[in-house]
Structure 1
Amino acid sequence: MILQARAVDFSYDDGTRALDQASLVVNRREIMAILGANGAGKSTLLSTLNGTFKPAAGEVLLNGNPVSYSRKGLVELRSQVGLVLQDPDDQLFAATVFEDVSFGPLNLGLSVSEARTRVQEALAVMGIEALSHRPTHLLSFGQRKRVAIAGVLAMSPAVLLLDEPTAGLDPKSVDELCETLRSLATQGVAVVIATHDMDIAYNWADQVAVFARGKIIMEGRAEHVFGESNFQQDTDLRLPLIYQLSSELRNSGLISQDGDLPRSVPELVQQLRARQG
């Protein structure tokens, strides 16, 4: 465990209660998907985890220690817990890609040479080295998303929080981004994505947490959460398409009755071929 929300409450100025005793545990080397309908509180939870919002009750813990909301405490938290917003235009502000990505490292007090190294590494991870000197306002939406993520990665966070990271991306860009996030998790980064995409969550996430009415109502490994008999009734969410298809094929005896259900098209095809062979 690296990051934890423990019985966190948060309300907006208009009285809307966005978080109601919300609790969540984030582990290293895992991708966690936070699912929920619009207004469930997913974005608010991410903003609370990185200190943008201070909970009215409960606490956020980093490495087992309660977060301090002093200036020093918040700098420490945000140097380790990076948040990527849904709309990259809410995050990008510098004239060029290099300048934008370098802002975070320089703000941490790193030297120019150290910051340059961090920027180059982050651009390489996101596959956008060629955009280094491009004006940010001339980039495509998908390119701006990658730059926004690179800006957070340049701070070498231990936890990467992403709000709807695949929204607005074409299928190829979605696959590339998910591969990048899996690679980051393999290297030790804890990755948390808030998403409406059930298929992305089922295919890529190690853990799934379902958010409703400001609290976590289901949590566990993806195949177990989606396998809950009352999942759709309690969450108002649809089941992933691959999960639905695999379930029907298993019930019909067309794929193996043993082990977990396939979580991707290649896995499903492999099981179908094995059954036929």
Structure 2
Amino acid sequence: MILEARDVTFSYEDGMIALDQASLVVRRQEKLAILGANGAGKSTLLSTLNGSFKPSSGNILLHGKPVSYNRKGLTELRSQVGLVLQDPDDQLFAASVFEDVSFGPLNLDLSKSEARVRVAQALDAMGIEALSHRPTHLLSFGQRKRVAIAGVLAMSPSVLLLDEPTAGLDPKGVEDLTQTLHDLAARGVAVVVATHDMDMAYAWADRIAVFEAGRILIEGTPDEVFGAEDFCERSSLRLPVIYRLSRELQRRGLISPGEGMPRGLNDLIPRLVAPKAN
């Protein structure tokens, strides 16, 4: 365990309860998708895990110890738990890509040479080295998303939190970003994604937590979550297309049972049962 929300409650100034004794554990090197309808509490949870919001009750724990909300405690938390907002324009502010990605490392009191290494590694991880000296305002939306993530990665976080990372991206952009997030997890970063993209979550995540009314409704592997009885009615979400298709093909005996359901077309096609000759 790296990060944990334990019985966390948070209310906005108008009295709306966004988190209601919510609990969630983030483990090292895992890919965790947080699902939920609008207003379920996903974005608020990410901001609370990052220390942007302070819970009214309950605790955020980093490496098993409660987070302190003084300057030192928040600096430690945010150096290890990075948050990427849904709209990259809420995060980008420097004139060039290099300057923007450099901001975090330089504010960690690293030397310029150390900061340059961090920036180079982050740009390489996001595949945007060629954009290093481009003005941020001339980038496409997808490029700005990658720069925003690179800015967080340059802090060398243990946990990367992303709010709707695929929103506004074209299909190729979604595919590329999903692979990048997979690669980051393989390198040891715990990646947590709050999303409405059921298909991306099913294909990508190791574990899924479904939020409803500020607390976890269902949690488990993708097959456990989407196979739960009355999932759609309870969560106000839909099943992933590939899951629905695979379940129906399996019911009709057109795919072999195998282990678990296929998570994508590349998994589904090899398991199709060859038609019997007449």
TM-score of the aligned structures, taking structure 1 as reference length: 0.98
1:183 shift after superposition = 0.7
1:258 shift after superposition = 3.8
1:263 aligns with 2:272: no
1:274 shift after superposition = 6.3
SS in 1 for 2:7: strand
- How far, CA to CA, are the matches of 1:257 and 1:273 in structure 2? 10
Partner of 2:54: 54
* Contact 1:3-1:26 at 8 Å conserved across structures: yes
* Deviations 1:226-245 (CA, angstroms, capped at 9, x unpaired): 00011011001000000000
1:19 aligns with 2:28: no
- How far, CA to CA, are the matches of 2:146 and 2:275 in structure 1? 41
Partner of 2:154: 154
The letter for the 2-side match of 1:228 is: A
- How far, CA to CA, are the matches of 1:142 and 1:160 in structure 2? 18
The unaligned stretches of length 5 or more in structure 2 are none
- How far, CA to CA, are the matches of 2:257 and 2:126 in structure 1? 39
1:173 shift after superposition = 1.0
Partner of 2:41: 41
Partner of 2:220: 220
* Contact 2:18-2:40 at 8 Å conserved across structures: yes
1:273 shift after superposition = 5.3
4+ long deviations beyond 4 Å: 273-277
* Contact 2:254-2:273 at 8 Å conserved across structures: no
Partner of 2:187: 187
SS in 2 for 1:209: strand
Partner of 2:65: 65
The letter for the 2-side match of 1:77 is: L
TM-score of the aligned structures, taking structure 2 as reference length: 0.98
SS in 1 for 2:202: helix
The letter for the 2-side match of 1:143 is: Q
Taking only the aligned residue pairs, the percentage that are identical comes to 71
- How far, CA to CA, are the matches of 2:63 and 2:257 in structure 1? 40
1:257 shift after superposition = 2.5
The letter for the 1-side match of 2:71 is: R
* Contact 2:256-2:273 at 8 Å conserved across structures: no
- How far, CA to CA, are the matches of 2:105 and 2:252 in structure 1? 55
The unaligned stretches of length 5 or more in structure 1 are none
Cα RMSD after superposing both structures = 1.1
Tell me the matched-pair count: 277
* Contact 1:256-1:275 at 8 Å conserved across structures: no
* Contact 1:18-1:213 at 8 Å conserved across structures: yes
Matches within 5 A, 1:21-170: 21-170=21-170
Partner of 2:196: 196
